[in-house]
Structure 1
Amino acid sequence: MSQNQINTTSNSYPISSNSTVTLHFTIKLSNGSVADSTHNMGKPARLTIGDGSLSENFESHLIGLFSGDSKVVDLPAEDAFGAANPDNIHHMDRSKFVGDAAVEVGTIMAFSGPDGMEIPGIISEIAGDSVTVDFNHPLAGQDVTFEVEIISVE
């Protein structure tokens, strides 16, 4: 069945704007390693197209798919999670890190953004009293393969 036909045998409709979609996905890096997968979590993801859960570019590859469809999309970094932005790398004084949290390279910590929302940052370097925190998405600058399996469309 082509993706342009409505699957009348299962009362399925194609994914469109505002569709609620239940899907399994896997995001793989160019070396084939899995960066994220709903299969690892043991349950599918559920989202509404246009709610900001996925980037517009990811969503554009889902539009028109039906329940039961699978798709594999290779995305260059700029179409996936964007290029790494040097302005999102900040140097902080180590004294600002208080409490029991370990300050180690590779640690992901939550920081308060200017709007009060928590944003994740990855500690990328520690040099004396200076801690470098990268606020880019962990997959920024990475080409990825996006594999999806549509379970239901509402």
Structure 2
Amino acid sequence: MVKVDFLLRRDGILGVKLGDIVAVEYVGTLDNGGVFDSSEMQGGPLEFKVGGGQVLQGFEDAVLGMEIGDKKTIVLEPSQGYGEYSTNLVETIPRSSIPNNERLTEDTMLLVSLPDGSKMPATITTITEESVTLDMNHPLAGEVLHFEIKVVEIS
């Protein structure tokens, strides 16, 4: 019976390298253990090009050198994830400046236009008769992110 000790790819490089397309199963949790995302919640493995900037840099860096079947747990500080929470990204605006403002509810996400013409998602945090407070921080800003990663495919 033949026993396989390691896998040597055709290009001679073992494991994931820049430019590879990888598929990973993952679970993302917060410090309190709550799951914020997973490949199961998304319907299957996450596929991305390593070095393509499609996922968080720390997540991308973690898969480098991994091989099919390898598992790894990583912790990303806010600076490596979605950034620190910034009060500069919280703004109170007149309620009348929002179309259909009678339907507003807290925790609703809106797409807001910035002065430079770009658009950014914002979450309504407070509503009064006169104003609406919008939080333009990413919902995971300021959070430490924990990921369990398993490489399931490399191409």
1-structure distance, mates of 2:6, 2:86: 42
In structure 1, the residue matched to 2:95 is 94
Q: Which runs of 5+ in 1 are unaligned?
A: none
**How do 1:1-154 residues align onto structure 2 when only pairs under 5 Å count?**
7-8=7-8, 13-99=14-100, 102-114=103-115, 116-154=117-155
Q: CA deviation at 1:92?
A: 1.8
One-letter identity of the residue aligned with 1:42: G
- The DSSP-based 3-state class of the residue aligned with 2:41 is helix
- The DSSP-based 3-state class of the residue aligned with 2:29 is strand
2-structure distance, mates of 1:74, 1:111: 31
TM-score, scaled to structure 2:
0.82
1-structure distance, mates of 2:65, 2:17: 6
TM-score, scaled to structure 1:
0.82
Q: CA deviation at 1:141?
A: 0.5
- The DSSP-based 3-state class of the residue aligned with 2:99 is coil
Q: CA deviation at 1:77?
A: 2.1
User: Do the aligned partners of residues 6 and 113 (structure 1) sit closer, same or farther apart at CA in structure 2, a change above 3 Å counting?
Assistant: farther
1-structure distance, mates of 2:7, 2:122: 44
Is the CA contact (8 Å cut-off) linking 1:26 and 1:34 kept in structure 2? yes
Q: How high is the sequence identity, in percent, across the aligned residues?
A: 27
User: Do the aligned partners of residues 45 and 118 (structure 1) sit closer, same or farther apart at CA in structure 2, a change above 3 Å counting?
Assistant: farther
One-letter identity of the residue aligned with 1:56: Q
User: Do the aligned partners of residues 72 and 6 (structure 1) sit closer, same or farther apart at CA in structure 2, a change above 3 Å counting?
Assistant: same
Greater Cα shift, 96-105 or 139-148: 96-105
Name the count of aligned residue pairs: 150
Greater Cα shift, 100-109 or 50-59: 100-109
2-structure distance, mates of 1:102, 1:36: 29
Q: Which runs of 5+ in 2 are unaligned?
A: none
Q: CA deviation at 1:147?
A: 1.4
- The DSSP-based 3-state class of the residue aligned with 2:63 is coil
Q: CA deviation at 1:142?
A: 0.8
User: Do the aligned partners of residues 13 and 94 (structure 1) sit closer, same or farther apart at CA in structure 2, a change above 3 Å counting?
Assistant: farther
